[in-house]
Chains A and B, each alone.
Chain A
Amino acid sequence: MRVAYFPGCSLQGSAREFDESLRAVAARIGLELVEIPDWNCCGASSGHAVDHLLSLALPGRILALAERTGLEDLLVPCSACYNRLVTTRQDLIDDRKVKAEVCELIEMDLKLSVRVRNIIEVLKEVMEAGNFQGIQTPFTHKVACYYGCLLVRPHKVVKFDRAEEPQTMDEMMQAIGAEPIDWAFKVECCGAGMTLARTELVAKLCARILDDAEGREAEAVITACPMCHANLDMRRGDIEKAAGRKFDIPVMYITQAIGLALGIDPGRLGLDRHMVPVVFKSMQQQPGVSESPA
């Protein structure tokens, strides 16, 4: 499968390991990523708060660039970017007038022919095509699949999985040998972009998520969103302060879990870039780093 690839800003900064692990896994499962040239920021959480037209023009330009690759699908791993792109595409399909304004602004034509796909959607397709062979070290851990709020919403635009009780990530985790838990916070909000303005709120929301995951004996939270990861991992100190207790549970990207199962070296998956060390309760050691303490 060959797809256009839009990494987005996070994957070059705080979520570098998402990009690294995705590229490492992609090479192993026959997923060819064609990074679109000269891409820009999608506007993220601030664009649409500032100017409506700008919030459509920024993703619009990315869509136009993706169209020029001639590929049918555009893979957008970051949930926030994905949400901006997929809703912009729909808005521009629905409103020709706005589409014309956007085209004028970006000085490019838009056919809106490229499909915007999120990471689990693409991985699922690759898996179903049978390209997911070669599980060398089954990922035999209890995991809490955390979709966050943007990956499967808004349902009428995304049209993928179930908005309230999605299953795709759970199925994929099962396929690599993990045991996804049945828990209540799959699609709860982590606080997202409030992380700077209202850290204490984010800490409180994240504490609930981690509390439920740990309470149900999950050994890792699996996510597909750089924002969720940053909040659950980087804000761990604030979270623990808010909860008044310690949390040991690591937070991993779905591509990292799959990468481990495929036997890819943890270093190439960026596992050492996390704030909370990736140590599983059942093993009490870092994967792949045998004998030496974390």
Chain B
Amino acid sequence: MSRIGVFVCHCGENIGATVDCARVAEISSALPGVVHSVDYKYMCSDPGQNLIKDAVKDKHLTGVVVAACSPRMHEPTFRRACAEAGLNPFLCEMANVREHCSWVHEKGEPTTQKAADLVRVLVEKVKRNRPLRPIQVPVTKTALVLGGGIAGIQASLDIANAGQKVILVEKDPSIGGHMAQLSETFPTLDCSQCILTPRMVEVAQHPNITLLSYSELESLDGFIGNFKARIRKKARKVDEKLCTGCAVCTQKCPQKKIPSKFNADLGMRTAIFVPFPQAVPNKPVIDVENCRYFKTGKCAICQKLCPAKAIRYEQEDEIIEVDVGAVVAATGFDVVNTDFFPEYGYGKYPDVINGLQFERLASASGPTLGEIRRPSDNKIPETVVFLACAGSRDHAKGIDYCSKICCMYTAKHAMLYRHKVHSGKAYVFYMDIRAGGKMYEEFVRRAIEEDGARYVRGRVSRIYERDGKLIVKGADTLLGGEPVEIQADLVVLATAAVASPGAEELAQKLHISYDSYKFFSEAHPKLRPVETNTAGIFLAGACQAPKDIPESVAQASGAASKVCGLFSQDQLSREPLIAAVNRTAPPQFSTCTGCFLCESVCPYRAIEREEIKARDGKVLKTVARVNPGLCQGCGTCVAVCRVKAIDLDGFSNNQLYAEVRALA
């Protein structure tokens, strides 16, 4: 015989002002099986919880229904309270009379009646609940970090320094990411490579970090603490163990005119190449598409000259399978370019470049060795126009958000240009200057006041070429909206930061959610900024939203500490709300007929085939079995099972039908 307790919470005025909570308690007390029914102002408070604990003990309750907020908020609280009083926590249920009732309806009798209905439904359910025990799963104490930019590097180092193993996967031949491409960094103007390369070397030397460069994630299966990752190690066509990094191959390669991605297409590289001198690992890669040997079968100069005999033309991609307990996605961002700005002539005029290209022009390791020379004729530009918000905050371009980093790097660009070309004129067109951050506003003021960058508040409508000059047409909206026309030698567009190519595909591989701009979604925008909605997968850096270096590093350290927290336990408890296939007496063994429709719909690949054998080993029947480690309790298999052989613990057919019947 059920002995159910009902506890109605006022949630201050949240519920109490709309629902007559005392009436709900009174109505509920008359329900069959209910032996105790009270209301209280804050059920989640200590005295509120004590009401539940005392009732469980004194009235020997077999089930508890708390009518309060969403179970997402306080289910753990009330279940813990029940457990402390000696009741199995899965015999406690919540009726959501706040989000589902008081917040969405007006005060009145029907609202109170609906709250009472919701309680009645849950009372009928909880009568059919059975005690469940949490599932214990082991934790693989190795983290998989995807992306070797500053965020991935920081996360890897933090996890590794805490004594845990890390596998760092980078799709490019070297780690370093966009930060390695930058010349100097705001707001201190310290050299980007000088602060980054020590971290890169540390990654390479760290005993706890396995670096898989030139590799990409193929697939990820499993769940928190127990993921299985398949990683494609792309063929470098070079034996990494034998290669000494002597660079004979890259110097002698005859294919020298391939645009260098590292130099944002402003410089050239060879077909066998190391992206930049400080690359980690400092081992070359053969770009098969542009290699003469792969195109014609002739050449093989690198193979002939390699003193270590490390060139391997026949090398194939390799698939590596690893077990990991947590994943940090740190796959970064990209900037838009090419056809996105027909009105600005990007892609048409060689001297209209983007911010990343300017970084390479200003960098000592760049194609001009740090001299500001324009791409078309290698001349030093006398007038440079910088355009902030090229694409960002522009509804018409489909990018409504602020890219966040452009105001600062544009100020830095104007400053660097003025430092290098003293007689040059630097103009900056802007909408607003967004310089929130430590020493940021001061930095922008310095660009304007000390370095003479001329800031024009207004948008540029068009850029076109005339008599060798780029005519920049815009408006100065501070001085009466006067049209402005500037004859420039070089134009730098601070193009919008967007999700990196392949972000959507990766999110689907990881089963994590992403927003309409393909940036990965955090679990909560304020309170859970480094976690995803998929347990065990964390976010770091600009893959979540545009971010500058300090923010990326901070988030990476946050993600690393979450991983370390997870790894501090040997076992994890999982909610036992999973599916199970029934078992009956022989000769039926199970009502499962072995159609395996469930297998084809299970998104988690949790359905296994189990052979039921006689003593002599003869297979009598093949039935489905749910792997409790993989099952996430989504219930899809239950819905498709034609013979009702599968049921979901905690949400059984019996329980759900009882809920529906209670409403009839």
A residues within 8 Å of B by Cβ?
155-156, 162-165, 182-184, 212, 215
B636 to chain A minimum Cβ distance, whole angstroms, is: 39
The count of residues in chain B whose C-beta lies closer than 8 Å to any C-beta of chain A is 8
Give chain B residues whose Cβ lies under 8 Å from the Cβ of A163: 396
Is A184 in contact with B396, judged by CB distance below 8 angstroms?
Answer: no
Is B342 in contact with A165, judged by CB distance below 8 angstroms?
Answer: yes
Give Cα A162–Cα B466 distance, bound, in whole angstroms: 23
B128 to chain A minimum Cβ distance, whole angstroms, is: 49
Residues in B312-349 with C-beta less than 8 Å from chain A: 342-343, 348
8 extra interface residue pairs, beta carbon distance < 8 Å, beyond A156-B396, A164-B343, A184-B462:
A162-B342, A163-B396, A164-B342, A164-B462, A165-B342, A165-B343, A212-B466, A215-B466
Render B337-377 as a binary contact track against A, CB cut-off 8 A, 1 for contact: 00000110000100000000000000000000000000000
Render B449-472 as a binary contact track against A, CB cut-off 8 A, 1 for contact: 000000000000010101000010
Is A184 in contact with B471, judged by CB distance below 8 angstroms?
Answer: yes
A168 to chain B minimum Cβ distance, whole angstroms, is: 13
Is B471 in contact with A155, judged by CB distance below 8 angstroms?
Answer: no
Is B342 in contact with A184, judged by CB distance below 8 angstroms?
Answer: no
Kindly identify which residue among A155, A156, A162, A183 contacts B464, using a CB–CB cutoff of 8 Å.
A183
Closest to B343 in A: A164
Question: What 10 A-B pairs have minimum CB-CB distances, sorted nearest first?
Answer: A165-B342, A184-B464, A164-B343, A164-B342, A162-B342, A184-B462, A165-B343, A155-B396, A184-B471, A183-B464
Give Cα A243–Cα B396 distance, bound, in whole angstroms: 34
Closest to A155 in B: B396
B95 to chain A minimum Cβ distance, whole angstroms, is: 40
Give Cα A200–Cα B466 distance, bound, in whole angstroms: 25
A280 to chain B minimum Cβ distance, whole angstroms, is: 24
Closest to A183 in B: B464
Cβ contacts A to B, 17 pairs, < 8 Å: A155-B396, A156-B396, A162-B342, A163-B396, A164-B342, A164-B343, A164-B462, A165-B342, A165-B343, A182-B348, A183-B464, A184-B462, A184-B464, A184-B466, A184-B471, A212-B466, A215-B466
Give chain B residues whose Cβ lies under 8 Å from the Cβ of A155: 396
Residues in B225-241 with C-beta less than 8 Å from chain A: none
Give chain B residues whose Cβ lies under 8 Å from the Cβ of A183: 464
Render B74-97 as a binary contact track against A, CB cut-off 8 A, 1 for contact: 000000000000000000000000
- Count CB-based A-B contacts (< 8 Å): 17
Give chain A residues whose Cβ lies under 8 Å from the Cβ of B348: 182
B residues within 8 Å of A by Cβ?
342-343, 348, 396, 462, 464, 466, 471
B167 to chain A minimum Cβ distance, whole angstroms, is: 45
Give Cα A156–Cα B397 distance, bound, in whole angstroms: 11
Give chain A residues whose Cβ lies under 8 Å from the Cβ of B342: 162, 164-165
Give chain A residues whose Cβ lies under 8 Å from the Cβ of B462: 164, 184
Closest to A162 in B: B342
Give Cα A183–Cα B343 distance, bound, in whole angstroms: 11
Give Cα A164–Cα B463 distance, bound, in whole angstroms: 11
Closest to A154 in B: B396
A185 to chain B minimum Cβ distance, whole angstroms, is: 8
B470 to chain A minimum Cβ distance, whole angstroms, is: 11
B394 to chain A minimum Cβ distance, whole angstroms, is: 12
Give chain A residues whose Cβ lies under 8 Å from the Cβ of B343: 164-165
Closest to A163 in B: B396
B22 to chain A minimum Cβ distance, whole angstroms, is: 45
Give chain A residues whose Cβ lies under 8 Å from the Cβ of B464: 183-184
B80 to chain A minimum Cβ distance, whole angstroms, is: 52
B486 to chain A minimum Cβ distance, whole angstroms, is: 14
Closest to B465 in A: A184
Closest to A164 in B: B343
A278 to chain B minimum Cβ distance, whole angstroms, is: 27
Give chain B residues whose Cβ lies under 8 Å from the Cβ of A215: 466
Closest to B464 in A: A184
B348 to chain A minimum Cβ distance, whole angstroms, is: 8
B385 to chain A minimum Cβ distance, whole angstroms, is: 16
Give Cα A9–Cα B326 distance, bound, in whole angstroms: 70
Give Cα A156–Cα B348 distance, bound, in whole angstroms: 25
Give Cα A44–Cα B173 distance, bound, in whole angstroms: 61
Give Cα A163–Cα B462 distance, bound, in whole angstroms: 12
Give Cα A162–Cα B471 distance, bound, in whole angstroms: 21
A156 to chain B minimum Cβ distance, whole angstroms, is: 8
Give Cα A212–Cα B467 distance, bound, in whole angstroms: 11
A228 to chain B minimum Cβ distance, whole angstroms, is: 18
Give chain A residues whose Cβ lies under 8 Å from the Cβ of B466: 184, 212, 215
Closest to B341 in A: A164
Closest to A216 in B: B466
Give Cα A212–Cα B348 distance, bound, in whole angstroms: 18
A29 to chain B minimum Cβ distance, whole angstroms, is: 29
Closest to A167 in B: B342
A15 to chain B minimum Cβ distance, whole angstroms, is: 28
Give Cα A155–Cα B343 distance, bound, in whole angstroms: 14
A67 to chain B minimum Cβ distance, whole angstroms, is: 31
Give Cα A164–Cα B396 distance, bound, in whole angstroms: 11
Give chain B residues whose Cβ lies under 8 Å from the Cβ of A184: 462, 464, 466, 471
B341 to chain A minimum Cβ distance, whole angstroms, is: 8
Give Cα A155–Cα B466 distance, bound, in whole angstroms: 28
Closest to B467 in A: A215
Give Cα A164–Cα B471 distance, bound, in whole angstroms: 16
Give chain B residues whose Cβ lies under 8 Å from the Cβ of A156: 396
B489 to chain A minimum Cβ distance, whole angstroms, is: 17
Give chain A residues whose Cβ lies under 8 Å from the Cβ of B396: 155-156, 163
Give Cα A155–Cα B342 distance, bound, in whole angstroms: 14
Give chain B residues whose Cβ lies under 8 Å from the Cβ of A162: 342
B596 to chain A minimum Cβ distance, whole angstroms, is: 47
Max chain B CB contacts within 10 Å: which of A156, A163, A165? A165
Give Cα A183–Cα B466 distance, bound, in whole angstroms: 9
B314 to chain A minimum Cβ distance, whole angstroms, is: 47
B462 to chain A minimum Cβ distance, whole angstroms, is: 6
A130 to chain B minimum Cβ distance, whole angstroms, is: 28
B491 to chain A minimum Cβ distance, whole angstroms, is: 14
A165 to chain B minimum Cβ distance, whole angstroms, is: 3
Give Cα A184–Cα B462 distance, bound, in whole angstroms: 8
B493 to chain A minimum Cβ distance, whole angstroms, is: 14
A162 to chain B minimum Cβ distance, whole angstroms, is: 6
A181 to chain B minimum Cβ distance, whole angstroms, is: 12
Closest to A215 in B: B466
Closest to B471 in A: A184
Give Cα A215–Cα B465 distance, bound, in whole angstroms: 12
